[in-house]
C-alpha cells in the first residue's frame, strides 16, 4: 500500500503562475483517502511560510508541516555545530529558529545555499574555513534557478566556486542525493516501501527517490521527456503523462496492493508474541522493498570517490554499510543483485537458505543458521534470493556491503529476463521473483 506521497514543486505542482493540470484534484483525492502529502523542495532560500503561501495560491491547502525544504534538512544535518552560513532569509530563519550558532571565524561547518548577495569576500571566507577543517555542506546542487521567468545561477554554481577554491567535495543535502528524502521519511514516519515520490525531473527527483528506497513516479509535466527516459539509467516505478494517468497506474498495480508478495499472512498480527515480532519491534525494523524487514545500522561517514572505484559505480559510495535483516514465515527476499560483495552474518532464529546464481549460470545454495554456516559471501553481480528454512521459521541476520549500499547499485530481477538467461533454474526463479 502507498500511505504517503512526496511531491516536488516546480514542474510537478505548478509551472510558473499556473497549476500543473490536475495537481490540486489529485492531492485532494489522495488526502481524502488518508494519504499524507509532503511537499519537498531543493530550494533553501524561501521560508516555509512563503512556500506554503505559494502552494495555497493555486488553491491547494498547505500547512507548514506539509513542507520540507533543504534549509530544514541542512539544519537537521548540522545539528548544533557552529556554522558559517551563506544563504538568504529562508535558511537564516531556519538556523535561528533552531538556535544553531553562527560563526564566521572558527566554525565546524560551512553551509552554502542560494545567495543573491554572494561576494568574493564570502567565497574567500568559505574556502579558508573549509581548508581549516570545517565540513563543507551544500543545500542543493541545482545549476540554475528560475524566478519570475528569469534564469539565475543556482546554488550549484556558487558551490562549484567554493569547491574549486578549496579542492574538497561537499556533502550535498538535496536531490539527486538521498539526504533530503531520508529526512522526508522520518517526517512522514511511514515505511519506505509505502512512500511514493512524484517529480518531473529524471536526473534529480527519480535518483533521490530510488537511492532512498522509495517508489518513484516521473510525471512528464515538467523538464523530462520520454526521449530523456530512453537515454537515462534512472528508471522510475511509474511514468505518467498526467495526474489522471498516474492515478490509473497506481490503482491498477497489483504490487502496490500486495507489496509483501507471498508474505500476505506475515506477520500474523503486529502484537502476536512471536520471536520474529519481538525482533521487528525491539529493533524497529521496517519492511524492505525486496521482502522481509530491515534497518540500516551503519553507514560509514567516509566516502570512496567515484574516480577511485571501478566504472560500474556511477558515483561516490560510503566505504561500507550494514543492515539488520529479518525474514519470516512465507516471506522471501526476491532475486536481485548489487554491484558490491555482500557479507551475511547469522544472528538469531532458525536459519535461512540463500539461492545464488552466478553470471555464468552456476547455482549454489548456502544455508545460514545455528546448524549451518554463520557467515556467507555473495559476490558482486551474482543474482541471489533468500527464504526461511520453512514457513514456520524465521532468521535474523546482518548484511554488510562494501563499498556501501546505494539503491543505484540495486537491481531487482525481472522474472522473464531471468527465465530467459537461466532456463535450467526456471522453477526456482518462478518461486522467488514477484
Ligand atoms: Mg521539478
State which of 257, 273, 295 marks the end of a domain: 257
What's residue 273's pLDDT?
52
Measured CA distances, 358 to 333, 363, 379, 380 (Å): 17, 6, 8, 9
Q: What's the chain look like in SS3? A: CCCEEEECCECCCEECCEECCCHHHHHHHHHHCCCEEEEEECCCCCCHHHHHHHHHCCCCCCCHHHEEEHHHHHHHHHCCCCEEEECCHHHHHHHHHCCCCECCCCCCEEEECCCCCCCHHHHHHHHHHHHCCCEEEECCCCCEEEECCEEEECHHHHHHHHHHHHCCCCEECCCCCCHHHHHHHHHHCCCHHHEEEEECCCCCHHHHHHHCCCEEEEECCCCCCHHHHHHCCCCCCEEECCHHHHHHHHHCCHHHHCCCHHHCCCCCCCCCCCHHHHHHHHCCCEECCCCCEEEEEEECCCEECHHHCCCCCCCCEECCEEEEEEEECCCCEEEEECCCEEEEEEEEECCEEEEEECCCCCEEEEEECCCCECEEEECCCCEEEEEECCCCCEEEEEEEEECCCCHHHCEECCHHHHHHHCHHHHHHHHHCCC
| Percentage of the chain modeled with pLDDT above 70 | 95
319 alpha carbon – ligand 1 mean position (Å): 31
pLDDT at 266 over 90: no
279 HSE (CA, 13 A, CB side): 21
State which of 172, 193, 223 marks the end of a domain: 172
What's residue 276's pLDDT?
85
267 alpha carbon – ligand 1 mean position (Å): 38
The CATH number for 299's domain is: 2.60.120.10
Distance (Å, whole) CA 107 – CA 132: 9
The CATH number for 81's domain is: 3.40.50.1000
Domain carrying residue 271:
261-431
- The answer on 308 and 184 residing in a single domain is no
203 alpha carbon – ligand 1 mean position (Å): 10
In a domain, 164, yes or no: yes
If you average pLDDT over each of 329-333, 346-350, 380-384, 405-409, which comes out highest?
380-384
Among 76-80, 89-93, 208-212, 286-290, the least confident range: 286-290
Q: What is the mean pLDDT of residues 198-214?
A: 94
What's residue 160's pLDDT?
98
Question: Which residue do the cell numbers 566554525 mark?
Answer: 107
In a domain, 11, yes or no: yes
In a domain, 59, yes or no: no
In a domain, 61, yes or no: no
Q: What is the mean pLDDT of residues 389-395?
A: 83
| Rg of the chain taking only CA atoms, in angstroms | 23
Q: Which position has the higher pLDDT, 149 or 195?
A: 195
5 alpha carbon – ligand 1 mean position (Å): 15
Residues measured by CB to lie within 5 Å of ligand 1, the ion: 8, 10-11, 200-201
What's residue 274's pLDDT?
72
In a domain, 315, yes or no: yes
- The answer on 75 and 33 residing in a single domain is no
246 alpha carbon – ligand 1 mean position (Å): 16
40 alpha carbon – ligand 1 mean position (Å): 10
State which of 257, 276, 307 marks the end of a domain: 257
- The answer on 162 and 98 residing in a single domain is yes
What's residue 284's pLDDT?
85
12 alpha carbon – ligand 1 mean position (Å): 6
- The answer on 343 and 239 residing in a single domain is no
**pLDDT tens digits for range 134-181:** 999 999 999 998 877 789 999 999 999 999 999 999 999 999 999 999
135 alpha carbon – ligand 1 mean position (Å): 28
218 alpha carbon – ligand 1 mean position (Å): 10
- The answer on 84 and 18 residing in a single domain is no
pLDDT at 268 over 80: no
Q: Please work out, in degrees rounded to the nearest 5, the angle formed at the alpha carbon of residue 178 by the alpha carbons of 172 and 184.
A: 110
Q: Which position has the higher pLDDT, 301 or 156?
A: 156
- The answer on 358 and 218 residing in a single domain is no
**pLDDT tens digits for range 37-55:** 999 999 999 999 999 999 9
> How many domains is the chain built from?
3
In a domain, 66, yes or no: no
201 alpha carbon – ligand 1 mean position (Å): 6
pLDDT interval class at 407 (50, 70, 90): confident
Q: Which position has the higher pLDDT, 114 or 190?
A: 114
Measured over the CA atoms of residue 311, residue 317, residue 321 and residue 323, the dihedral's sign is negative
Average pLDDT of every residue of the chain? 90
**pLDDT tens digits for range 412-426:** 999 999 999 999 999
147 alpha carbon – ligand 1 mean position (Å): 13
41 alpha carbon – ligand 1 mean position (Å): 8
Q: What is the mean pLDDT of residues 267-280?
A: 60
142 alpha carbon – ligand 1 mean position (Å): 11
In a domain, 146, yes or no: yes
Distance (Å, whole) CA 400 – CA 408: 17
Distance (Å, whole) CA 232 – CA 203: 8
In a domain, 348, yes or no: yes
- The answer on 285 and 230 residing in a single domain is no
**pLDDT tens digits for range 322-376:** 999 999 988 899 999 999 999 999 999 889 999 999 999 999 999 998 878 999 9
What's residue 254's pLDDT?
61
427 alpha carbon – ligand 1 mean position (Å): 43
- The answer on 249 and 120 residing in a single domain is no
Residue 353: which residues within 8 A CB-CB, separation 6 or more? 365, 366, 367, 368, 386, 387, 388, 389
Question: Which residue do the cell numbers 544535518 mark?
Answer: 77
If we measure between CA atoms, which residue out of 244, 173, 257 comes closest to residue 215?
A: 257
Q: Which position has the higher pLDDT, 201 or 2?
A: 201
224 alpha carbon – ligand 1 mean position (Å): 9
pTM over the 0.85 mark: no
11 alpha carbon – ligand 1 mean position (Å): 4
279 alpha carbon – ligand 1 mean position (Å): 40
- The answer on 185 and 119 residing in a single domain is no
353 alpha carbon – ligand 1 mean position (Å): 43
- The answer on 283 and 250 residing in a single domain is no
What's residue 264's pLDDT?
28
Distance (Å, whole) CA 74 – CA 159: 14
Distance (Å, whole) CA 161 – CA 165: 6
- The answer on 420 and 291 residing in a single domain is yes
Amino acid at each position: 500500500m502507498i500511505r504517503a506521497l512526496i511531491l516536488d514543486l516546480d514542474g510537478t505542482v505548478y509551472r510558473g503562475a499556473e497549476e500543473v493540470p490536475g495537481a490540486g484534484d489529485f492531492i485532494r483525492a489522495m488526502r481524502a483517502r488518508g494519504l499524507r502529502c509532503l511537499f519537498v523542495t531543493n530550494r533553501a532560500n524561501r521560508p516555509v511560510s512563503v512556500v506554503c503561501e505559494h502552494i495555497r495560491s493555486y488553491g491547494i491547502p498547505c500547512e507548514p508541516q506539509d513542507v520540507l525544504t533543504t534549509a530544514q534538512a541542512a539544519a537537521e544535518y548540522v545539528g548544533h555545530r557552529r556554522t558559517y552560513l551563506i544563504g538568504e532569509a529562508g535558511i537564516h530563519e531556519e538556523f535561528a529558529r533552531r538556535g544553531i550558532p553562527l560563526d564566521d571565524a572558527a566554525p565546524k561547518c560551512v553551509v552554502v545555499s542560494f545567495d543573491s548577495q554572494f561576494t568574493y569576500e564570502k567565497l574567500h571566507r568559505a574556502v579558508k574555513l573549509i581548508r581549516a577543517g570545517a565540513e563543507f555542506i551544500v543545500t542543493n546542487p541545482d545549476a540554475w534557478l528560475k524566478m519570475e521567468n528569469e534564469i539565475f545561477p543556482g546554488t550549484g554554481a556558487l558551490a562549484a566556486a567554493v569547491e574549486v577554491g578549496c579542492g574538497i567535495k561537499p556533502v550535498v543535502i538535496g536531490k539527486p542525493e538521498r539526504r533530503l528524502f531520508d529526512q522526508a521519511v522520518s517526517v512522514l514516519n511511514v515505511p519506505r516501501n509505502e512512500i511514493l515520490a512524484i517529480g518531473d525531473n529524471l536526473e534529480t527527483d527519480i535518483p533521490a527517490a530510488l537511492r532512498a528506497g522509495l517508489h518513484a513516479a516521473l510525471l512528464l509535466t515538467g523538464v523530462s521527456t520520454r526521449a530523456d527516459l530512453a537515454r537515462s539509467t534512472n528508471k522510475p516505478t511509474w511514468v505518467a503523462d498526467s495526474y489522471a494517468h498516474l492515478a490509473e497506474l497506481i490503482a491498477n498495480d497489483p504490487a502496490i496492493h500486495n507489496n509483501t508478495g507471498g508474505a500476505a499472512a506475515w506477520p500474523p498480527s503486529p502484537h502476536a508474541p512471536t520471536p520474529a515480532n519481538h525482533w521487528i519491534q525491539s529493533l524497529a525494523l521496517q519492511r524492505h522493498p525486496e521482502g522481509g524487514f530491515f534497518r540500516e545500522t551503519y553507514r560509514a561517514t567516509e566516502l570512496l570517490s567515484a574516480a577511485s572505484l571501478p566504472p560500474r559505480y556511477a558515483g561516490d559510495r560510503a566505504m561500507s554499510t550494514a543492515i539488520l535483516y529479518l525474514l519470516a514465515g512465507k516471506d522471501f527476499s526476491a532475486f536481485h543483485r548489487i554491484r558490491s560483495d555482500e557479507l551475511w552474518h547469522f544472528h538469531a532464529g532458525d536459519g535461512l537458505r540463500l539461492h545464488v546464481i552466478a553470471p555464468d549460470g552456476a547455482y549454489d545454495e548456502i544455508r545460514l543458521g545455528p546448524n549451518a554456516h554463520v557467515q556467507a559471501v555473495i559476490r558482486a553481480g551474482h543474482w541471489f534470493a533468500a527464504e526461511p528454512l520453512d514457513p514456520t521459521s524465521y532468521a535474523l541476520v546482518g548484511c554488510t556491503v562494501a563499498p556501501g549500499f546505494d539503491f543505484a547499485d540495486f537491481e531487482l530481477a525481472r522474472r522473464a529476463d531471468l527465465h530467459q538467461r537461466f532456463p535450467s533454474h526456471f522453477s526456482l526463479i518462478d518461486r522467488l521473483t514477484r
